[in-house]
Amino acid sequence: MFTRDVAHGMEVAKRIDTGMVFVNHPTWTKADLPFGGVKISGYGHELAGTGIQEFVNKKLINVVPIDAPA
């Protein structure tokens, strides 16, 4: 999702029932960011410290300023 109101973007991201949400950026890939889903979209999480917590649903919310360079 893209928004100039970062606080609103964070609130919307918290309500979305998914493992990863990107605010003001289409995708993000880094070795230290957890990757995974919830429900039947995947089993557990990979990377970062969340790998050990594969039985717990985590959510990644990434916020980038809307006018940030790509």
pLDDT at 56 over 90: no
Per-residue pLDDT band at 15 (split at 50, 70, 90): very high
- Domain membership of residue 32 as a residue range: 6-63
Residue at 24 is within a domain? yes
Q: Count structural domains, the chain.
A: 1
Residue 20 resides in a domain: yes
Q: How confident is the model at residue 5 (pLDDT cuts 50, 70, 90)?
A: very high
**CB distance 12 to 24 below 8 Å:** no
| Any domain includes 1 | no
Tell me the average pLDDT of the chain.
76
pLDDT band at 34 (very low <50, low <70, confident <90, very high): low
Instruction: Report yes or no on whether pTM surpasses 0.85.
Output: no
Position 55 scores a pLDDT of 61
Dihedral sign for Cα atoms in the order 32, 70, 61, 57: negative
H/E segment holding residue 11: helix 6-15
Q: Within a 10 A sphere around the Cβ of 15, how many other Cβ atoms?
A: 7
Cα–Cα distance, 61 to 13 (Å, whole number): 7
CA gap 18, 22 in Å, rounded: 11
